[in-house]
Amino acid sequence: MTDLKAPLRSYLDQSVHEEELQRVWRGVQRRTLARPGRAARATYSFAGALAVAALVLLVLWGRGTGPVDAGPLTLEDGRAPAPVTVPQQALAEQLRLSDGSRIELQSATRLDVLDNNGSSFVTSLRRGRGHFDVHPGGPRRWVVECGLVTVEVIGTAFSVARSPQEVTVAVQRGVVQVRGETVPGRERRLEAGQRLVVRAPESTEPREVACAESQCEGESEASLPAASAARPTASGTAKPAGAAAMEDRIGSLLRQADEARRAGQRERAADLLMRVISEAGDDQRGRVAAFALARLQIEDSPEQAALTLEHAIEAGMPQGLGEDAMARQVEAYARAGQMDQAARAAAEYEKKYPAGRRLSEVRRWANAE
């Protein structure tokens, strides 16, 4: 299943210049108020309609001449977004992205990039607090993994704070969808001025509160808790230095793999990703690496891609990549000619995602001859 091109909606959502549109309509109204004869009125009406249609087509034509595939996001200086750790007591760090979006990370915050392509940008807020200002109308689906919940947006401004006990999502502008096993109904739509606090299962039930937009924007660090840089384990002790070094090693390997892939060094990228998978253990970045590896394997070795995805899905994919991983698995089986397996994987996909974004593609691959 190849990556989808930027949807036509991303062009249609951009409105025609208001002043130009009003100028055309004023001309049509003046001709109508003049009340000329029937033939003249018909001529004016037809001319007005043609003018509006021509204007709309001209705008869409001009916008349609650009590249269809937006490609992965980069920072403003052209570098690929990499995992960011803001130390305790450090100043906030801001990431400015190539599509005009901004991410601001507070102290004691860790943000990883799980997937970045022309149709999706998936990050993981591992701890701390981040403010996301997503440029509206873009072709990508933005997803923020936060442990207890997944936040999905199209174009909005919102904040997410994560601690070991809870996750808080506060929306300043636009709309977000919050999904998770501990969310009431497993999904909650939040609009501007609303905030959702989701607690770990052993804590109290999730609660939702409404707040003024200015209050959501001005919440202090005390009201939105952030985990310390030395995150405690279940036993209450700080994470050992060796574990922190392993985290940095895995992040380094992932960055090297991404650089190799961008440079066209597919074999080197695959080797680096396999090292991540073997060393990651319970770290979910191992499953992310498996997803990336399968994307490299799927054309030349679809059987291996299907096996890679099968192991990753069984281990538990991050929520933001779970649907894409299951869809890719159907494609891999179909490319390998294993149609029984493709049909089985397609049925599992449809059971879990009955209204999934990739449902039509999954069905097409499952029925391919």
Sequence-distant (6+) residues with CB within 8 A of 293 are 270, 273, 274, 277, 305, 308
CA nearest 155: which of 133, 131, 171? Answer: 133
User: Is there a domain that residue 309 lies in?
Assistant: yes
Same domain, 333 and 266: yes
**What's 252-278 look like in SS3?**
HHHHHHHHHHHCCCHHHHHHHHHHHHH
Query: Hey, how many other C-beta atoms are within 10 angstroms of the C-beta on 58?
Result: 12
User: Is there a domain that residue 154 lies in?
Assistant: yes
Residue 284's H or E segment, with its range, is none
pLDDT score for 238: 46
Q: Which amino acid is at 152?
A: E
Cα separation, 143 vs 85, whole angstroms: 19
Number of folded domains that form the chain: 3
**Across-strand partners of 140?**
none
Query: Hey, how many other C-beta atoms are within 10 angstroms of the C-beta on 316?
Result: 11
Q: Which amino acid is at 104?
A: E
Token pair recorded at residue 338: 């294993």
Same domain, 128 and 172: yes
Site of tokens 């000619």: 337
Token pair recorded at residue 41: 């009125």
Sequence-distant (6+) residues with CB within 8 A of 178 are 149, 150, 151, 169, 187, 188, 189, 190, 196, 198
pLDDT score for 31: 54
Sequence-distant (6+) residues with CB within 8 A of 352 are 322, 323, 326
pLDDT score for 192: 87
**pLDDT-flagged residues of the chain (< 70):** 1-69, 154-155, 202-247, 369
Note down the domain range covering 27. Answer: 9-64
* Residues 216 and 170: beta-carbon distance below 8 Å: yes
pLDDT score for 184: 83
* Residues 218 and 193: beta-carbon distance below 8 Å: no
User: Is there a domain that residue 77 lies in?
Assistant: no
The overall longest dimension of the chain from CA atoms, in Å, is 88
pLDDT score for 143: 93
CATH number, domain of 132, equals 2.60.120.1440
pLDDT score for 132: 93
Same domain, 265 and 335: yes
Task: Point out the domain boundary residue: 202, 217, 232.
Answer: 217
